[in-house]
Amino acid sequence: MAFLLLLQVLLLLLCLAVYFRHKSRFPLPPGLPRWPLLGNAFAIPTEAQHVFFKRLGAKLESKILHFQVFGQSMVVINDLKIAQDLLDKRSAVYSSRPRSRMLMDIMGIDFLFPFMPYGNEWRNRRRIFQRYFSPKNMSKEQDRQLEFIWKGLLPNLLESPQRFPEHLLSCLGGMITSSVYGIPVKRSSDPNVECQEHTFLVSEGSTTGRFLVDLIPALKYVPEWMPGAGFKTMAREWSFMVNRVISDMYTATLKGMDDGTTRECFVSWSLNEQRENDSGETNLQSGILQETAGTIYKAGTDTRLSTALTFILAMLLHPDVQRKAQAEIDAVVGSSRLPDFDDMPHLPYLSAVLRETLRWNPVLPLGIPHLTTEEDIYDGLRIPKGSMIIANSYAMLHDEDNFPQPELFKPERFLKEGKLNPDVFNPETTATFGFGRRICPGAQTAISSLYLVMASILALFVVSPELDSEDKPIEVGPRFSESIISRPLPFSCRITPRGDKKVENLLKEYMNFEII
C-alpha cells in the first residue's frame, strides 16, 4: 500500500516537473496577474477595450498579450506582422471562431457564417456568397450602387439634409436589400431597409464577452424569470425580430420571382443557377440560401453605415481636407456630370481620404475573434489550444511606427508626390476586413459603394458646423460607440449645396423616383 502511495506521489511530482519545465521553456505572452478561477475577469474594462489593450501592450512592452477569463484563454494581438504571421500564414490553426453562447445558444442565431466555426458548413455558405459576388458580377453591382446614390441619397440630402444618418441608411441599406433580395425599395423610409438598423442588435449579441453567459456557459440554463436573467428576455425579443425579418424578405423575393417584380439579385441568381446546372455542386438548399441571404443582409449594412458616418464627421472636423478633395473631384469630373466608377483611378486624394477614414475609426476595432484549434508556439511564446485570438485592428491602424500622430485625420499619410504610396500599408486590404481565411468576402463591394458615396457627396455638397441660436458653430468632437462595431455617436451638422455647382440641374432627372 505504501509503495502504491509513493508511486502516485512520484508520478504527480513527475507530471508537475514536466508541466513547469514546459511552462518555463515556452511561457505565455505577457499579461496581468490573475485571480484563482476568475482570472482577469475584472481587470478588463467593458468599454474601449481596444484602447485598453493598446495601452497595456505599450506598458508591458509587448505586441502580444495573454489573459484568462473564467478559464478561457484569450490572446490579444496589437501588431500587424504578428497578426499576419499567425492568422494568415498559420491559418490552419487560427481559422475557427469561439462559440458565442448569447448569439447561438440563447438567441438561436447560429447561421451567420462570419461567426461559424471553421468547417464544411462555413465553407458551403461562403462558397454560395462568392459565386454571386464575384468579379464577373461586379459591374452589375456597381450599376446598382450608382442608382441608389443618384436616385436616392443625393435627392434626399438636397431635400432634407438634417436627416443625413437616415438617408445614408436608406442608400446603403437599400443597396444591400436590392442586391440580396431584388425587391423594390423606397428611396426613403423603406420598412425593409429600416429593419436593418434593428438587426444591429445582433452585433450586441455577437460580441463575445459582452454577456456573462459567453464566459460562464452554465448561465444559459438560468430561467428567464430569475433576477439577473434579463439577457434571456433580450435574446428572445432580438431573435424573434431578426428571424421574422429574414424570413419575410426571402418569401417576398420568391413571390416577386413568380410575378416578375424581382430584379436579378443574390437569391434569384443563385436559385436560377442551381436550376440550370441541376448538379448539386453548391449543395444549395432553401434553408442554406435563406440563411446566407440573411447573413449578407444583416452584416452588409452595419459596417458601411458606420464608415459613411465617420466620413461625414471627418469632413465636418477637417474642412481643409474637404476642400482638397473637392478641388480634385472638380478637376477630374468637371461641373456637368456626377462622379462614377471610371473616375476612381484618377482621384488619389479621395482614395487617401477613404483609407484614412477606415484607419482613423476602424469600424471593427477588435475584429471578430478567431479560435486556435491546436497549441502553437510563436517567438518563444506559447499560445494554448482553444484560445480566443483577438486581432486589435485599432492598435494596428494606430501604430505610431506606421502612422505618426495616429489620432489625427491626415489623408496625406497615404500619398507620395501626389500618388498613392504603396509603401504605406492599405487599410482597404489589411486589418480592416479581417485576416486569413476569415477575411470579409464582401470587402471590395463595400469599398466601391463607400468610394462613390464619398465622391458624390463632396461633388455636390459642403459639410459644415450646425449653428446655435446665436449663429455660433456648435462644437463637435470625435466620439464613437463601444459596441463590436464602432460608429460615431449622434452629431449634428449642415449639409448644403455647393455654391459653385448647379446642384438642382445635376439632380433634376433623379428627383422624382420614389421607388428604386
Q: How far is CA 433 from the centre of its chain?
A: 7
Beta bridge partners of 35: 39
Q: Which grid cell sits at 154?
A: 443625393
Contact (CB, 8 A) for 474 and 465: yes
Q: 279-304: buried (b, 16+ CB within 10 Å) or exposed (e) per residue?
A: eeebebeeebbbbbbbbbbbbbbbbb
Residue 171 among known ligand-binding residues: no
Q: Which backbone phi and psi does 134 adopt, to 5 degrees?
A: -110, 165
Contact (CB, 8 A) for 369 and 95: no
- The answer for residues whose C-beta is within 8 angstroms of residue 29's C-beta and 6 or more apart is 62, 64, 65, 66, 75, 381, 383
CA–CA gap between residue 490 and residue 457 (Å, rounded): 19
- The answer for residues whose C-beta is within 8 angstroms of residue 11's C-beta and 6 or more apart is none
CA–CA gap between residue 398 and residue 181 (Å, rounded): 38
Q: Which grid cell sits at 57?
A: 501592450
Q: CA-based Rg of the chain, rounded to a whole angstrom?
A: 25
Q: Which grid cell sits at 498?
A: 455647393
Quickly list DSSP for 13-40: HHHHHHHHHHHHHSPPPP----BTTTBT
CA–CA gap between residue 313 and residue 102 (Å, rounded): 33
User: HSE of 282 in the Cβ direction (CA atoms, 13 Å)?
Assistant: 24
CB-based contacts of 128-137 (< 8 A; 24+ apart in sequence): 128/270, 128/282, 128/284, 128/288, 128/289, 128/292, 129/266, 129/292, 129/295, 129/296, 129/441, 129/442, 130/441, 131/270, 131/273, 131/282, 132/266, 132/269, 132/270, 133/266, 133/441, 133/442, 133/445, 137/269
CA–CA gap between residue 153 and residue 167 (Å, rounded): 6
Q: 395-428: buried (b, 16+ CB within 10 Å) or exposed (e) per residue?
A: bbbbbeeebeebeebbbebbbeeeeeeeebbbbb
Binding residues: 440
Residue ranges for the binding site for heme?
Answer: 440
